[in-house]
Amino acid sequence: MRWNAINTFAVPESVKIGSGILYPRLKEFLKPTDRVMLIVDRIVDELYGQDVYAFLEGCCKEVKREFVHAGSLREAFLKSYYIVNRDFDAVIAMGGGKVLDVGKYASSMSKRPFISVPTSISHDGVASPIAVLKCDHNSVRSLDCKIPSYIIMDLDIIKTAPEKLILAGLGDLVSNITALRDWERAVQAGKAKMDDFAYIISGTAVRAILQYTHPDIRDTAFLTQLAESVVLSGLAMNITGNTRPSSGAEHLLSHAIDAAGKGTLHGLQTAVASILVEYLYGGNYEFIRDYLRQAGLPTTFEELGLTYEDYVQVMRTARTTRKNRYTILDEISYDGAYLKKIYDAVYGGTNGRQ
């Protein structure tokens, strides 16, 4: 036994979740001498950004407001250059995943503290060491970066987010169930290494939210737990240095939907796909389906706006979206009859189509 075999990993310096906490926590985290960059998009700027900008002007030495348009790697590079060139002390990003990922990557490259202020809980990347950014020809890359230094999740703001964004966050979290199954399977096949601590954290995150047997996405207690759980899920990814704790076959299927040009919100897609993956494992896929349905999420490909033909294409291409990610999709047949059997069992039939 190697007594010095200790894995070290970073955690946010502070995570604050509650109602009406945005301005008190910003004042707590920042100093009067700080020069800060505030990153938003146009929609968030109209809703909150102008007020936040005015508040920061009153408590900091200098504030520069920057806008995100495409959520691209180029935008992140330009902002990081500006941060270093103007010697800003901290970066604040307020918005959805696109804005937060630009801020996260720009602050990571410029080696500045990053304050993340989500306006919704649409996915589990809030506290993850990954930024998903657009590159050339509309391709998307998942890039390594540092996790936020501070996270402020003001529930008064999050409650005003469109319902589908909160549902997407719930769906992304619930899909941890099948991601963990795939992780175990990959370890058994010699295709991955297990990190027990990260595994426990990811599982704890999803089990905590499943305790809400009648989820109400506007309920403060439920939203608080959802916020805590997505932070834990991100922390699990930070421990492993990859997305294994929360990304398995269901995410590959979601990527394939996107690649086919049929994509909607990521978390809605992973939710629907997780039902299928749980079926492939012989697990209680009805439980996942019924839980998601009760919460108001889609549970079939049809509800995502996809046809049976789309389903077949997605199934046959999903493995190619991330070739080094071993999942149960590497073990099944892609014969038309078998794919129809899966579809009929999980989603209720193909109306006679082969």
Is domain 14-161 annotated with CATH 3.90.1150.10?
no
C-alpha to C-alpha distance for 98 and 295, rounded to whole angstroms: 25
Annotated binding residue 120: yes
Distance CA(349)–CA(347), nearest Å, equals 6
**Is 132 annotated as belonging to a binding site?**
no
Say whether 128 counts as a known binding-site residue.
Answer: yes
Question: Both tokens of residue 188?
Answer: 């058994």
- Is 97 part of any known ligand binding site? yes
Q: Please tell me the CATH superfamily of domain 164-347, with its number.
A: Dehydroquinate synthase-like - alpha domain (1.20.1090.10)
Instruction: Please tell me whether 51 is known to bind a ligand.
Output: no
101 marked as part of a ligand binding site: yes
Where on the phi/psi map is residue 261: left (φ > 0), alpha (ψ -120 to 50), or beta?
left
CA distance 291 to 224: 19
- Residue 266 annotated as binding site: yes
Q: Is 310 annotated as a binding residue?
A: no
Could you give the strand order of the β-sheet that contains 150-154, starting from the edge strand earlier in sequence? 14-18, 150-154, 114-118, 90-95, 35-40, 62-67
Helix 163-174 / helix 266-280 crossing angle, nearest 10 deg: 30
**For residues 246 and 176, is the Cβ–Cβ distance under 8 A?**
yes
DSSP state for residue 138 in the 8-state scheme: G
Query: Looking at residue 10, what is its pLDDT?
Result: 84
Q: Is 14 annotated as a binding residue?
A: no
Please list the pLDDT of the chain residue by residue as tens digits (354 residues): 455 556 778 889 999 999 999 999 999 999 999 999 999 999 999 999 999 999 999 999 999 999 999 999 999 999 999 999 999 999 999 999 999 999 999 999 999 999 999 999 998 889 988 898 988 766 778 889 999 999 999 999 999 999 999 999 999 999 999 999 999 999 999 999 999 999 999 999 999 999 998 888 889 999 999 999 999 999 999 999 899 999 999 999 999 999 898 989 999 999 999 999 999 999 999 999 999 999 999 999 999 999 999 999 999 999 999 989 999 999 999 999 999 999 999 998 654 343
Strands 150-154, 14-18: pairing is parallel
Q: Annotation-wise, does 100 bind a ligand?
A: yes
- 94 membership: H or E segment, kind and range: strand 90-95
108 is in an annotated binding site: no
> 214 among the known binding-site residues?
no
- Choose among 146, 54, 153, 142: nearest CA to 96: 153
Task: Give residue limits of the domains in the chain.
Answer: 14-161, 164-347
Asked whether residue 306 is marked as a ligand-binding residue, the answer is no
Q: Is 64 annotated as a binding residue?
A: no
pLDDT of residue 125: 83
